[in-house]
Structure 1
Amino acid sequence: MTLPHLHLSLLAATAIMLVAIADAQAGGQVLQAELWCVAKNNAEDSSLQTAIDWACGQGGADCSPIQQGRACNDPTDIQKMASYVFNNYYLKNGLADDACNFNNNAALTSINPSQGTCRYPSSKRVSNGRVADDTSMGSGQADMSRGRRVSTTWILLAFTILMVTWIIHL
């Protein structure tokens, strides 16, 4: 590999690394994963019903949206109703890993399970450990987009410095 090609390769590798670092840090507040706790596809209806009964009773989940006539009530789809209850319980218990198990009948997903008027609130794990739900998108969203703009500015600045350094060394 010739010297100019080596410089170009190093420049490209450095740029990729800077993008990855900036994307991962993004102002210290953008890193997040939107998660939902849902019933597993292979869970048996009887196990799901037992888990719903426990979560709605002793577990303290808000089960009003799955009551008759409400947006998430669908007696023909026990998995949908269990998913709503499991997700509610998970959110109320601070996103603890064991709060989304229900005797191995539940799992976390990053795919929004909401359907029609049945809206599943989500949780977002933020890099510094703070958690915000979907209902707090107002000012938090502005902060997150600001963090992305700042990180993009730093990426462009670093890339420009690297390009100038590379050109000078040619």
Structure 2
Amino acid sequence: MKQSATRVILLLCLILHFLATSAQQEDPNWEKQWCIADQQTPDDVLQQALSWACGPGGANCTMIEPNKSCYFPNNVKDHASYAFNSYWQKFKKQGGSCYFNAAAMVTDLDPSHDSCHFEAVP
């Protein structure tokens, strides 16, 4: 009886591993995360955090400049999301956070749109 229970458990583990591996291969965003602006944060707070991220924070904000692929929509929330994500992807492995004075949050949904690509570093 003990041997058959062990075999059943082993078989279940193999099935679960197979299902997890299959899900990962089917969904290119599996286990990817992005840092975006919290939609409830006032624009003035987002603007301060955006200015920090693109300045002293070291985020790469070139794609939210005029005539670049992430300039539109031209609003603080979208630009802040791009800058927050740029900063977080660049520095999260060194302890950088997706906080920005409570103006940001982590999401599993890819915020990329049209020709604007948000990077995701595993």
Give the TM-score, by structure 2 length.
0.76
Deviation at 1:98, TM superposition (A): 4.5
The structure that is helix-richer by fraction is 1
Partner of 1:146: none
Distance in 2 separating the partners of 1:14 and 1:45: 53
Distance in 1 separating the partners of 2:17 and 2:117: 34
Matches within 5 A, 1:1-170: 12-21=8-17, 33-74=31-72, 76-95=74-93, 98-124=96-122
Deviation at 1:44, TM superposition (A): 1.2
Deviation at 1:41, TM superposition (A): 1.8
Structure 1 residue matching 2:47: 3-state secondary structure: helix
Structure 2 residue matching 1:123: 3-state secondary structure: coil
Aligned-CA RMSD value: 2.7
Segments ≥4 residues shifted beyond 6 Å = none
The residue type equivalent to 2:116 in the other structure is: C
1:60-114 deviation per Cα after TM superposition (whole angstroms, max 9, x unaligned): 1111111112111136432111111001101221345642110011111111100
Distance in 1 separating the partners of 2:65 and 2:104: 21
Distance in 2 separating the partners of 1:71 and 1:47: 24
Q: How many residues align?
A: 113
Unaligned runs of 5+ in 2: none
Is the 8 Å Cα contact of residues 90 and 96 (structure 1) preserved in structure 2?
no
Deviation at 1:47, TM superposition (A): 0.8
Q: Which has the larger radius of gyration?
A: 1
Unaligned runs of 5+ in 1: 125-170
Give the TM-score, by structure 1 length.
0.56
Distance in 2 separating the partners of 1:12 and 1:91: 41
